[in-house]
Chains A and B, each alone.
Chain A
Amino acid sequence: MATRSRQRSTLSRLILGADPQRRTLYIAGMTPAVLYFYWGLTNQLGADPQNVLERALGLWALRFLIASLAITPLRQLGGPSLYRFRRAIGLLAFYYAALHLTVYMVLDKGLDLPSIIADIIKRPYITVGMLAFAILVPLAVTSNGPMIRRLGANWRKLHRLAYVAAAAAALHFIMLVKVWPGEPLIYAGLVAALLLFRLANSLRPRARPARS
């Protein structure tokens, strides 16, 4: 009895986390996906529902990715500390990217594998998008306590790849538009700013607490 309840709590902790605020974040974070699928199934996404759904999921993936990278700069610039939400936000980015990819492969391409593979090879914007997703997979797989402990110092190095994924995702967005509308450039600008902040930080000599 005790064992089973402990197992259950371990499982829900793995999925939703133990912290009620974090659970709320997961539920709130998945709400756009639920709404878009609901609107899609009830014919409320307008003339081109596949396209609207596909793009909305991709855009939310990029938003969560950017949000996860913004947590450290936010703290360092004097904002609140949101570190305990970072893993959840990063995982939400991964879930949205996975849904985005699934909608592309199943609804848009009808699981036509030769055509999907041709897309990935021949269409640079899809190549870049797949690259972003491929990077997110190991990051998601290692976003849990046991993997963090196992990887030790390598975990931090591995998770720096999130910047590459964000840059690729922003590029993927820019590459699919016909003209240069503001929206993709705003996202790309955010990613560039986060990357510059991170670079500036790593170049700056660190203040060592030991000296005080």
Chain B
Amino acid sequence: MLIRIPNASDARPSEITDRSTYFGRREFMLGAAAFSAAAALPFGAIAAPLSATKSPLSTNETPTPLKDVTSYNNFYEFGTDKGDPAKNAHTLTTKPWKVKVDGLVDKPADYDLDDLIKDIALEERIYRMRCVEGWSMVIPWVGVPLASVLARVSPQGSAKYLAFETLVRPEEMPGQKGFFQAMKWPYVEGLRLDEAMHPLTILAVGLYGEKLPNQNGAPIRLVVPWKYGFKSIKSVVRMTLTDKQPITSWSRENPREYGFYSNVNPAVDHPRWSQATERRIGDQGGSFGGLFAKRHPTLLFNGYAEQVASLYSGLDLKANY
């Protein structure tokens, strides 16, 4: 029988290595190989925190504690339990990292990550993140507008969509090997080009002022705050400009439950559960932590309706879920 009581070897929140030590460990691991590469990093010395400018697009809501953001998330390449990414993602090598840009672009190439975002100012974007499962967080991302990256590769006029792909590397991603695998790999996602170009859409390379932890999609991931979290694809290795609506992983798994758009919408329920409310991770309900915390109402487009609703004028949001 499978008994899942947290056992003595599981880390308690209080035991989680603090941020500086944790990043120190990664630097140590990277150290030997990265000595020469360090000079090429876009944000100076490895140990330095990312310097990012504040953004008017940030929310002023209280960010979810770092330990929750980095220990509770879905990244099925590392296992289907929400604790698995934090447990298993330390094996991922994120340097060197190439992002292939192809399709309808004038400058297709296998870009080194550093070149792809070089000289684009890093911004801190504190965004709400709403998971399709009914929980949410507030995350201080550090990243660059996707539009700036796209400008660099010069999309052609015929490009209407942008398709994304996550790394496939079973030797470093335990969810991609073995008899039971949750999904078809690579994980793929896509946006309409106008969604991709929207100022809110970013490619994140950090959170809480430091480089992205592996479990959160290092070294580079998409963040589209008005869509359910699974649209914000992690550890991106390929971006393809295309004139056809790309296949997306969850819609391929279960087209009845997950559509291409997947905009946060309290009025359009998941076929199996309501999307009207959400549990905000990190909320405190009195002196007993999160146990007695109340749900929040979910907002249309995750509260970003003012900025993005015009993208969907005339579109039936129920039919295009």
Interface residues of A (CB under 8 A from B): 32, 35, 39-51, 53, 56, 59, 63, 107-110, 115, 118-119, 122-125, 175-176, 178-183, 186
Known: A32-B5, A47-B281. A118 touches B274 (CB 8 A): yes
User: Is B318 at the interface (CB under 8 A from chain A)?
Assistant: no
Whether the pair B279, A46 counts as a contact (CB closer than 8 A) is no
Beyond A48-B281, A179-B76, list 19 extra A-B contacts (CB 8 Å).
A32-B5, A40-B288, A41-B288, A41-B289, A43-B290, A43-B291, A44-B12, A47-B68, A50-B279, A51-B135, A63-B1, A110-B294, A115-B276, A123-B272, A124-B272, A178-B254, A179-B182, A179-B183, A183-B2
Chain B residues with CB below 8 A from A181, complex form: 80, 180, 182
Chain A residues with CB below 8 A from B5, complex form: 32, 35, 56
Whether the pair B6, A44 counts as a contact (CB closer than 8 A) is yes
Q: How many A-B residue pairs have CB under 8 A?
A: 92
- Given the complex of chains A and B, what is the CA–CA distance between A122 and B253 in angstroms? 23
Whether the pair B290, A49 counts as a contact (CB closer than 8 A) is yes
The contact size tier of chain B is 35 or more
With both chains docked as a complex, state the minimum distance between the C-beta of A2 and any C-beta of chain B, in angstroms: 45
Whether the pair B13, A178 counts as a contact (CB closer than 8 A) is no
Q: Identify the closest chain A residue to B134 (Cβ).
A: A51
User: Is B150 at the interface (CB under 8 A from chain A)?
Assistant: no
Interface residues of B (CB under 8 A from A): 1-2, 4-6, 12-13, 67-68, 71-72, 76, 80, 82-83, 133, 135, 180, 182-183, 253-254, 269, 272-274, 276-277, 279, 281-282, 288-295
Whether the pair A47, B288 counts as a contact (CB closer than 8 A) is no
Known: A44-B6, A46-B83, A48-B279. A176 touches B288 (CB 8 A): no
9 sampled A-B residue pairs with Cβ under 8 A: A46-B6, A46-B71, A47-B281, A47-B290, A49-B289, A107-B291, A110-B294, A122-B269, A123-B273
Whether the pair A51, B279 counts as a contact (CB closer than 8 A) is yes
- Within 8 Å by CB of A186, from B2, B71, B272, B289, lies B2
With both chains docked as a complex, state the minimum distance between the C-beta of A99 and any C-beta of chain B, in angstroms: 14
Q: Is the interface of A mostly helix, strand, loop or mixed?
A: helix
Chain A residues with CB below 8 A from B277, complex form: 115
Going nearest first, the 5 A-B pairs with the smallest beta carbon separation are A47-B72, A43-B289, A47-B68, A179-B182, A40-B291
- Given the complex of chains A and B, what is the CA–CA distance between A181 and B68 in angstroms? 23
Candidate in B133, B291, B295 with the most chain A CB atoms within 10 angstroms: B291
Q: Is the interface of B mostly helix, strand, loop or mixed?
A: loop
- Given the complex of chains A and B, what is the CA–CA distance between A43 and B290 in angstroms? 7
Whether the pair B80, A41 counts as a contact (CB closer than 8 A) is no
Known: A44-B12, A124-B272. A110 touches B133 (CB 8 A): no
With both chains docked as a complex, state the minimum distance between the C-beta of A61 and any C-beta of chain B, in angstroms: 14
Whether the pair B272, A125 counts as a contact (CB closer than 8 A) is yes
Known: A49-B289, A178-B133, A181-B182. A43 touches B13 (CB 8 A): yes
Chain A residues with CB below 8 A from B254, complex form: 178
Chain A residues with CB below 8 A from B272, complex form: 123-125, 175-176
Q: Identify the closest chain B residue to A35 (Cβ).
A: B5
Chain A residues with CB below 8 A from B273, complex form: 123, 125, 176
Whether the pair A179, B12 counts as a contact (CB closer than 8 A) is no
Whether the pair A43, B288 counts as a contact (CB closer than 8 A) is yes
- Given the complex of chains A and B, what is the CA–CA distance between A176 and B270 in angstroms? 11
With both chains docked as a complex, state the minimum distance between the C-beta of B69 and any C-beta of chain A, in angstroms: 8
Known: A44-B6, A44-B12, A181-B80. A50 touches B72 (CB 8 A): no
Chain B residues with CB below 8 A from A47, complex form: 67-68, 71-72, 82, 281-282, 290
Whether the pair A46, B2 counts as a contact (CB closer than 8 A) is no
Chain B residues with CB below 8 A from A175, complex form: 272
- Given the complex of chains A and B, what is the CA–CA distance between A39 and B5 in angstroms? 11
- Given the complex of chains A and B, what is the CA–CA distance between A103 and B66 in angstroms? 27
- Given the complex of chains A and B, what is the CA–CA distance between A51 and B136 in angstroms? 13
Chain A residues with CB below 8 A from B67, complex form: 47
- Within 8 Å by CB of A50, from B6, B13, B182, B290, lies B290
- Given the complex of chains A and B, what is the CA–CA distance between A109 and B180 in angstroms? 34
Whether the pair B135, A179 counts as a contact (CB closer than 8 A) is no
Chain B residues with CB below 8 A from A53, complex form: 291
Chain A residues with CB below 8 A from B13, complex form: 43-44, 46
- Given the complex of chains A and B, what is the CA–CA distance between A110 and B130 in angstroms? 20
- Given the complex of chains A and B, what is the CA–CA distance between A8 and B68 in angstroms? 49
With both chains docked as a complex, state the minimum distance between the C-beta of A71 and any C-beta of chain B, in angstroms: 15
